[in-house]
Structure 1
Amino acid sequence: MTSPDPIETFRQEAQELLEQLEHTLLDLGHRPTDADLIDAAFRALHTIKGSGAMFGFERVAGFTHHVETAFDLIRKGRVRATAELIALTLAAKDQMRRLIETPAEADEAAGDAILGRLQAAIDAATVGVPAAAAVAAGPAAPAPASATAAARAVRTWRVRFRLPKNAMATGSNPLLLIDELRELGEATVIADTTKIPPLEDLDPTDCLVGWEATVTTAHPRDAIEQVFLFLLDDMELIIEAVDAQGAEEGAAAPTPASPSSSSSSNSAGQGSPATAAIAPVNWAEVGTKAAPKSSAPGPSPSPAAAAAEPAAQAQKGAATAKASGSVRVPAERLDELMDQVGELVIAHSRLKQITAQTHDPQVKSVVEEIERLARELQDTTMGVRMMPIGSLFGRFRRLVYDLSRDLGKDIELITSGEETELDKTVIERLADPLVHLIRNAADHGIEPRERRIDAGKPAAGRVMLTARHAGAAVLISVADDGRGLDRERIQARAEENGLVAPGAKVTDEELFKLIFAAGFSTAREVTNLSGRGVGMDVVKRTIEELRGSIEVRSTAGRGSEVTLRLPLTLAIIDGLLVRVGNGRYVIPLGAVEECVELTPEDDLRSTGRCFLNIRGDLVPFIRLREQFATRTPPDPYQKVIIVSAEGMHVGLVVDQVIGDHQTVIKSLSRLHAEVEMFSGATILGDGSVALILDVPQLVAHGQAQEERLKAAG
């Protein structure tokens, strides 16, 4: 088995760090004095810088070094976290992403321009002391103490630490840690070599030396703890106060434990290595490892460690990082596993069909046991593929932030249902449609501040992004409290484009669906956000490819809501196997409401599309024999499958209902790509193929056919 590529692992971890940095900065925009958020941003930058240098991303390390310096000044209280500084840091974060993902295409001049504007923002936000000199010096150089730090009493601390054996192999450099201790004040360091074995037993990759440092500094104990912030999970550390003043704070106790990152970005810090005085000191065994309380959100900075323990989950924007017991697995392996489970389901279906002809109870018992195990394996595999949709929702905070600045509007993003789980493939393909819907809500829906105030609305507009389960589907809604859809303008543009006959009376539901037509736009002018008539047709096409549907509601002056109905997964579904003529088809079970019998009276009443009386409600039905041009005579007792589609109930007339079927979805070939009534195919137990009906498309096709018949008649 090949070992993971450390460069690719770094890129994955950096992606998570950048996402967490973005969330932290967006939270900081609302709470600019929150020390936890400021520390979290600084540590994320520090980790990216250190890990980047460790793995040869020197441009990343050099660029991030300057941004880190800015947040070090904010952390020390010398610079205010202004809105402009946060916006520029977000732009710097985008540049870091480019330097990591596509370094050859990253524009160095653009990065220099960002740093220049960042320096100007720092100078404008400086509190009392000019910041330019400190930015030039960088975080490795001792920055002048703030007024608060200067007033602090000088204290002496004894710091005893021993790194994990593999510290050197994972890129940590203990001499750079000692350098950072010396930067805090006056430090005397001695080494403990008592655990170094004889030369013949020595592994040169192991770190076996311990250290004891006496540090006299005006900095608080937290500053000493942060030197070891990214090594705390596996190292031994004790910090004791030597003077009475420090002891009064209870600092003599070992540092409290709290999981953080398991490898060091300090190894890539700036400055020359310090020389420790080597003298064998047999100080007492430190005992269990200890770690300080930390507010750092974000994953371990070591890509090697990240392969075993993925990123921690940020809580409340910048809560304590918490190690996860999960493992990081490449997405393609999950896809392969799902494919193999699908083949197992097909093989079991064949076995079940074969054993139906035998009366041996032992064989049937084994088949039932295999069915149970296959079902459990399928459920487990599906569970692995399911992800909370919050991983997608988090991306749109930055989108709304940028839209708010670009449009000059106050816009808030409100999300709910982030814990709702959906197949990872569906989540990946939802990103672009949701971007288009949110852009439309911000650009066309939310009014400018003055108009909202005049209309008696809050000055800040709201875009609501919600998700919830509804049976075997997930509903995702994008709503706004803006002006609502302009019905008259939509109809006028639809008439111009020939989509609606002039003066025709069209229901709101039918009219609002026209906004998803290719090239349709009501914008009066083209901007960098909208107006070209592209985007909404992409939304419709993508959702239909996912076997989903779209519903639009709008109230003039109060806002609009677009709801996407999506299947939980695209791999294996429960279906209802039916027969029409000699062909067999699968109807997704999630769309099925009930089955009724088509009486001879109802069958003879008329041809084409007819109506059934279902408990007092008239339900239209479609004869699938006519849709599929079946030439065999119909069964004497046909069945009607009542399905839900496009917010209405429709019946599908079939010859026979065979039963439920575990359906492994296979894509249709390119030759059948234009056949819209089918969403895929599946292999039955006898090896034959059954087509999977696309219920919304089938219903739409039946409605269009009826309209043509009415027009011709």
Structure 2
Amino acid sequence: MMEQAIATYREEASELLAELESSLLELEDTPDDDDLINRVFRAMHTIKGSGAMFGFDEIASFTHEVETVFDMVRNGKMSVTKRLLDLTLRSRDHILALLDASAGSGEVDRSQGDEIIASLQQLLPQAVGGGGEVEAAPSQSESGEAEATEEKTWRIRFRPTRELLLFGTNPVSLINELRSLGECHVVAQLDEIPLLDDLTAEHCYLYWDIILTSTRGEDAIKDVFIFVEDDCDIKIQLIDSGGLIDREDGYKKLGHILVERGDLSVEEMQTVLTQQKRFGELLVEQGIVDPEKVQSALIEQQHVKAVRQERSAAPQADAAASIRVPAERLDQLINLVGEMVTVQARLSQVSLACGDATFISISEEVERLTNELRDTALNIRMLPIGSTFSKFKRLVRDLSQELGKEIEMETFGAETELDKTVIEKLNDPLVHIIRNSIDHGIEMPDVRRAAGKPSVGTVCLGAVHSGDSVLITIRDDGAGLDRDTIRAKAVERGLLAATAEVSDKEIYSQIFAPGFSTAQKITNISGRGVGMDVVKRGIQDLRGTIEVDSVRGSGTTITLRIPLTLAIIESLLVKIGDSHFVLPLAAVEECVELTREDVEAAHGRNLAIIRGNLTPFISLREQFEIDGDRPDIEQIVIVSVNGMRIGFVVDFVVGEHQTVIKPLGRLYQDIKGVSGATILGDGSVALILDPGVLTQCAEMAEASLTQ
């Protein structure tokens, strides 16, 4: 179970590091935001405390140094500066490297960690005399005001779940961390320990009452339990504060303390008070309260009398109603739901063939439940795309500093949801696009000012739902694409004929050709002609499309259309001879008839006049060399491919179909124009077609015939 706890820590720490980076970048814009400063501190405190608990001592000791600096920022003894943020971001990267190295992935340059710590220590206020770069805010004592060091006393009941030890957590470590906050008394409660025959050695049956006097406040106490708060019942009450106790007897009676804690009812207290023995002794003799609880209440009474501070109880926050599930289990669930959809389709087909009303009714009910189950399962895997957007703020910040440019990043639609797998596969294409926007698009500040632009450039990244897809837009206000230069380079490489008349979109699409680059020199960011072809291939692998629009001098906009999920899609089922094929419904615009007269009027060219426009088409029967007679009236399925209308000729259009995508085996992975397969209700297999690749194959075949 310790291995599971360590794996959980690594996952939690990775999420906290992502949150830390996001908070630091926000803090750069609003350095006086106390909430952001506290978020940064709590993230580092959790990484440190949990790291020490699970044996990540190197991470804990390094993070402690960074946490110390931000503790001073939190207490108003230092200001947030660009230098501090740079070092903290480097610290975040070093912690991530240590985390990866602990899992056997990569090595760590520990000298960098030492350098970061030394630089951070130079920022501390005491380094002022030594010439350190410090922007320290004056403390309250320096300004002549009283320091806010009021001691308060807290009552804490720490009741872990029975399974806490199985998660690798040691409660003693948490209690010892509480002791470090101030004067502390701890009493273990034993009343839930079962008889030996019923005892499970791995379970925790103890819980603890802690009386703590500290100047640190409630947040510091909560920070101790932050990593285990979902696995414990923790009650924190502020019971004593300076100046509130004026009674001659000094503090509450023993009975009142027990009633407040919930260990004794008011009725039981009144009954015992009528007797002539000491209250605590009577409670224990009559078995009303366990002796440990009486001892704990007496310790609280004595503790508070010594400190003489009091305050009312603070409410306990509700635990988050969420659970963590491995991605593999979700993938398995989606696969099972896909099989369910296939079986349901077969059930519907069989019930209609039988014609039994009861059977059909049951089939329709199963179909309704299956659809709800499918939608629910897919929604479980949906994540807001903002989790990916936040990563690119750091990319923009670092690259703009490296290139000497001033760039701001704007985002919108961060709440737009996409399948987890799609988001993961989008990362690399988006990195390439944003790097190109920064390097090729945004000009240097002096160039922008000379052109009448603000010196600070903008890269805007956004997402919005569009039907069963998401439109992701990457827009910059840079120099835009040079149409003539791109065309000349394409002609030089043989990608375009010198006399060809092509639209701007077709010219701009040349940047996605492998090895294409117009950069005058090679840098460590771009210029080698790799990247944008990777972008196009990555988007095609997601069954998406990519479009480029640019205005010279004003900027470039790249739009990605990505399906919401890769598991189940809405499609159009078509038939050619005895074979079935599937086309993604999102790309289909309309279906029209193709008669023999239409074919003869084209004089051997694959062209048809549709709604007054000449539309090229591809005969799938010829493309796949399917034998058999063609029907007198065929169907043309009009599909949008990279902004162009292309027709696919089939024998029959069967109708809409809910397609569960199955990957092809290794022997068939290189078949062009086929992206997968699906199982139909009758058990037969239908191939899922890729309209973009089929169009490219047809264009290449036609070009070879004309040469």
Specify the TM-score bucket, using the shorter chain as the normaliser.
Answer: 0.7 to 0.9
Q: Does 1:518 align with 2:533?
A: no
Q: State the Cα deviation string for residues 251-297 of structure 1 (Å, max 9, x = none).
A: x9x9xxxxxxxxxxxxxxxxxxxxxxx9924369999984589xxxx
C-alpha distance in structure 2 between counterparts of 1:376 and 1:609, whole Å: 47
- Residue 23 of structure 1 is matched in structure 2 by 22
Task: Report matched runs for 1:131-530 at 5 Å.
Answer: 147=142, 151-152=146-147, 155-166=150-161, 169=165, 170-173=169-172, 175-182=175-182, 187=183, 189-192=184-187, 205-215=204-214, 234-244=233-243, 280-282=295-297, 290=314, 324-502=320-498, 504-530=500-526
Change (3 A) 1:86 1:443: same
Q: State the Cα deviation string for residues 331-384 of structure 1 (Å, max 9, x = none).
A: 111111111111122222333333333222222222222222222211111111
Stretch of structure 1 that moved more, 57-66 or 498-507? 498-507
- Residue 87 of structure 1 is matched in structure 2 by 86
Deviation, 1:415, is 1.0
Change (3 A) 1:72 1:682: same
Q: Which amino acid counterpart does residue 438 of structure 2 have in structure 1?
A: A
1:649 to 645, 650, 670: 645
Change (3 A) 1:111 1:120: same
Q: Which amino acid counterpart does residue 41 of structure 1 have in structure 2?
A: V
Instruction: Work out whether residues 543 and 566 of structure 1, in 8 Å CA contact, stay in contact via their aligned partners in 2.
Output: yes
Q: Which has the larger radius of gyration?
A: 2
- Residue 601 of structure 1 is matched in structure 2 by 597
Task: Report matched runs for 1:529-568 at 5 Å.
Answer: 529-568=525-564
Q: Which amino acid counterpart does residue 151 of structure 1 have in structure 2?
A: A
Deviation, 1:505, is 4.5
Deviation, 1:530, is 1.1
Q: Which amino acid counterpart does residue 157 of structure 2 have in structure 1?
A: R
Deviation, 1:539, is 0.8
Q: Does 1:35 align with 2:34?
A: yes
Deviation, 1:128, is 8.1
Higher relative contact order (CA 8 A, sep 6+): 1
Instruction: Work out whether residues 608 and 623 of structure 1, in 8 Å CA contact, stay in contact via their aligned partners in 2.
Output: no
Deviation, 1:446, is 0.6
C-alpha distance in structure 2 between counterparts of 1:340 and 1:121, whole Å: 52
Q: Does 1:569 align with 2:596?
A: no
Would you tell me which structure has more helix in proportion to its own residues? Answer: 2
Stretch of structure 1 that moved more, 96-105 or 388-397? 96-105
Change (3 A) 1:200 1:146: farther
Instruction: Work out whether residues 637 and 650 of structure 2, in 8 Å CA contact, stay in contact via their aligned partners in 1.
Output: yes
Change (3 A) 1:287 1:106: farther
Change (3 A) 1:412 1:279: same
C-alpha distance in structure 1 between counterparts of 2:460 and 2:662, whole Å: 35
Change (3 A) 1:240 1:484: same
Which secondary structure does the structure 1 equivalent of 2:526 belong to?
coil
Q: Does 1:673 align with 2:669?
A: yes
Instruction: Work out whether residues 193 and 279 of structure 1, in 8 Å CA contact, stay in contact via their aligned partners in 2.
Output: no
Stretch of structure 1 that moved more, 495-504 or 594-603? 495-504
Deviation, 1:432, is 0.5
Change (3 A) 1:222 1:426: closer
Which secondary structure does the structure 2 equivalent of 1:395 belong to?
helix
- 5+ long unaligned stretches in structure 2: 247-251, 258-292, 302-309
Q: Which amino acid counterpart does residue 282 of structure 1 have in structure 2?
A: A
Q: Which amino acid counterpart does residue 328 of structure 1 have in structure 2?
A: R
C-alpha distance in structure 1 between counterparts of 2:191 and 2:334, whole Å: 50
* TM-score normalised over the length of structure 1: 0.81
Change (3 A) 1:377 1:487: same
Deviation, 1:640, is 1.8
Deviation, 1:239, is 1.6
Instruction: Work out whether residues 482 and 557 of structure 1, in 8 Å CA contact, stay in contact via their aligned partners in 2.
Output: yes
Instruction: Work out whether residues 209 and 296 of structure 2, in 8 Å CA contact, stay in contact via their aligned partners in 1.
Output: no
Deviation, 1:241, is 4.2
Instruction: Work out whether residues 477 and 554 of structure 2, in 8 Å CA contact, stay in contact via their aligned partners in 1.
Output: yes
C-alpha distance in structure 1 between counterparts of 2:140 and 2:454, whole Å: 44
Instruction: Work out whether residues 476 and 555 of structure 2, in 8 Å CA contact, stay in contact via their aligned partners in 1.
Output: yes
- Residue 628 of structure 1 is matched in structure 2 by 624
User: What count of residue pairs does the alignment treat as equivalent?
Assistant: 638
Q: State the Cα deviation string for residues 508-553 of structure 1 (Å, max 9, x = none).
A: 2222111111111222222211122111111111111111111111
C-alpha distance in structure 2 between counterparts of 1:378 and 1:203, whole Å: 40
Change (3 A) 1:575 1:191: closer
Deviation, 1:451, is 0.9
- Residue 7 of structure 2 is matched in structure 1 by 8
Q: Which amino acid counterpart does residue 402 of structure 1 have in structure 2?
A: D
Which secondary structure does the structure 1 equivalent of 2:95 belong to?
helix
Q: Which amino acid counterpart does residue 84 of structure 1 have in structure 2?
A: R
Which secondary structure does the structure 2 equivalent of 1:50 belong to?
helix
C-alpha distance in structure 2 between counterparts of 1:131 and 1:78, whole Å: 18
C-alpha distance in structure 1 between counterparts of 2:222 and 2:366, whole Å: 55
Instruction: Work out whether residues 190 and 279 of structure 1, in 8 Å CA contact, stay in contact via their aligned partners in 2.
Output: no
Deviation, 1:669, is 2.9
- Residue 580 of structure 1 is matched in structure 2 by 576
Deviation, 1:105, is 5.7
Stretch of structure 1 that moved more, 99-108 or 71-80? 99-108
- Residue 310 of structure 1 is matched in structure 2 by none
Q: State the Cα deviation string for residues 100-120 of structure 1 (Å, max 9, x = none).
A: 122356655x33334424433
Deviation, 1:638, is 1.3
Which secondary structure does the structure 1 equivalent of 2:464 belong to?
strand
Stretch of structure 1 that moved more, 524-533 or 235-244? 235-244
C-alpha distance in structure 2 between counterparts of 1:128 and 1:694, whole Å: 64
Instruction: Work out whether residues 192 and 206 of structure 2, in 8 Å CA contact, stay in contact via their aligned partners in 1.
Output: no
Deviation, 1:651, is 2.3
Stretch of structure 1 that moved more, 32-41 or 281-290? 281-290
Stretch of structure 1 that moved more, 7-16 or 123-132? 123-132
Stretch of structure 1 that moved more, 593-602 or 517-526? 593-602
Deviation, 1:388, is 1.6
C-alpha distance in structure 1 between counterparts of 2:526 and 2:187, whole Å: 66
Instruction: Work out whether residues 28 and 38 of structure 1, in 8 Å CA contact, stay in contact via their aligned partners in 2.
Output: yes
Deviation, 1:16, is 0.8
Q: Does 1:61 align with 2:60?
A: yes
State the Cα RMSD in Å. 3.5
C-alpha distance in structure 1 between counterparts of 2:609 and 2:499, whole Å: 34
Instruction: Work out whether residues 156 and 242 of structure 1, in 8 Å CA contact, stay in contact via their aligned partners in 2.
Output: yes
Deviation, 1:59, is 1.2
Deviation, 1:434, is 0.5
Q: State the Cα deviation string for residues 415-448 of structure 1 (Å, max 9, x = none).
A: 1111212121111111101000010001111111
Q: Which amino acid counterpart does residue 88 of structure 1 have in structure 2?
A: L
Instruction: Work out whether residues 72 and 78 of structure 2, in 8 Å CA contact, stay in contact via their aligned partners in 1.
Output: yes
Instruction: Work out whether residues 164 and 235 of structure 1, in 8 Å CA contact, stay in contact via their aligned partners in 2.
Output: yes
Instruction: Work out whether residues 90 and 116 of structure 2, in 8 Å CA contact, stay in contact via their aligned partners in 1.
Output: no
Q: Which amino acid counterpart does residue 455 of structure 1 have in structure 2?
A: A
Stretch of structure 1 that moved more, 483-492 or 221-230? 221-230
Q: Which amino acid counterpart does residue 94 of structure 2 have in structure 1?
A: Q
